[in-house]
Amino acid sequence: MLKRIANLFRGLFGQAVSSAERANPEALLEVENENLRKQLASYNQGLISHAALCERLMAQVRKLETEQVDVRAKTSANLRVGNRAAAGQYALRLQTIDSELAENRKQLEQAETTYKDLVKARDVAVAAARQKIESLKADINDLKTKKALAALTETASGMITSIGGSGDTLDRLQTMVQEEKARAAGRVRVAHDNLDASGVLLKEAEQQALADQALADFAAREGIAIDGPAALSSSPLPQKSMGPISGGAAPIKE
């Protein structure tokens, strides 16, 4: 039972981790990038150790080469002067140096080849990893763009299917506005029909009559002869009599 519960929790935890990874691909990519840097640093430490081995072998080879030249010269010198015992000892030493030198040169060549192969392998692996990381970055950016485009497309699709349909808010609002406009126009028409036009015409006639009377009074005071409806509609002023108006100005008799 405990094992089954533990398996269930591990499964739930793994599912949660997978969901988090899917939701945050940038964070996962950054973790892998950091892991690559750590692996590269560790690999370089191994290359440093191997390069140090190559340097030690090269130093040993140079030392043996120098000793080889010196022992060969001593062997030749002792042999020329007839010192065969010393020449023999130097000859044995020279054989040992030649053997060690050949072995060290072989080891140095192998070490150099291995070092170059390791450097090449590192460069190829790093280049491939970086190329994959850059490709993943581009894919993640493309994923973000497509997700945003999908969301916009879904929104637009929803708007297209909802706007203009039966019972839509905009349609109902348009119907209400049209009804209110028609109602307002009807009110204007009814109010216009109920307007008493006779009273308006009467008021206008009174205003015209008063204007004609005022004009006739003004012309009489100023001694100006006027013709037309204004003269006909004028009436005598109180306590004044107006004589006949001829071509010229006529005096007003009190």
Q: Which two tokens stand for residue 183?
A: 């109602």
Whether the Cβ atoms of residue 65 and residue 98 lie closer than 8 Å to each other: no
Instruction: Quick: pLDDT tens for 48-85.
Output: 988 999 999 999 999 999 999 999 999 899 888 888 88
The pLDDT score that the predictor gives to residue 29 is: 73
Cβ burial, residue 58 (10 Å; 0-12/13-18/19+): middle
- Tracing tokens 């009174």 back to the chain, one arrives at 206
Q: Which two tokens stand for residue 224?
A: 């100006």
Residues 6+ apart with CB under 8 A from 250: 223, 243, 244
Quote the CA–CA distance of 72 and 64 in Å, as a whole number: 12
Quote the CA–CA distance of 176 and 188 in Å, as a whole number: 18
DSSP sequence for the chain: -HHHHHHHHHHHHHHHHHHHHHH-HHHHHHHHHHHHHHHHHHHHHHHHHHHHHHHHHHHHHHHHHHHHHHHHHHHHHHHHTT-HHHHHHHHHHHHHHHHHHHHHHHHHHHHHHHHHHHHHHHHHHHHHHHHHHHHHHHHHHHHHHHHHHHHHHHHHHHHHHHTTSTT-HHHHHHHHHHHHHHHHHHHHHHHHHTS-HHHHHHHHHHHHHHHHHHHHHHHHHHT----SHHHHH--PPTT-B-----SS--PPB-
- Tracing tokens 């940038």 back to the chain, one arrives at 26
Residues 6+ apart with CB under 8 A from 230: 212, 215, 216, 219
Ranges of residues in the chain with a pLDDT under 70 are 1-4, 6-10, 12-25, 152, 154-170, 192-200, 227-254
Whether the Cβ atoms of residue 226 and residue 215 lie closer than 8 Å to each other: yes
Residue 234 backbone phi and psi in degrees, to 5? -80, 150
> Long-range pairs for 225-229 at CB < 8 Å and ≥24 separation?
225/249
Q: Which two tokens stand for residue 151?
A: 């969301």
**What is the model's pTM?**
0.47
The CATH label, of 1.20.120, 1.10.287, 1.10.1060, 1.10.3470, for the domain at 2-148 is 1.10.287
For the chain, which residues make up each domain, given as ranges? 2-148, 175-233
Whether the Cβ atoms of residue 115 and residue 51 lie closer than 8 Å to each other: yes
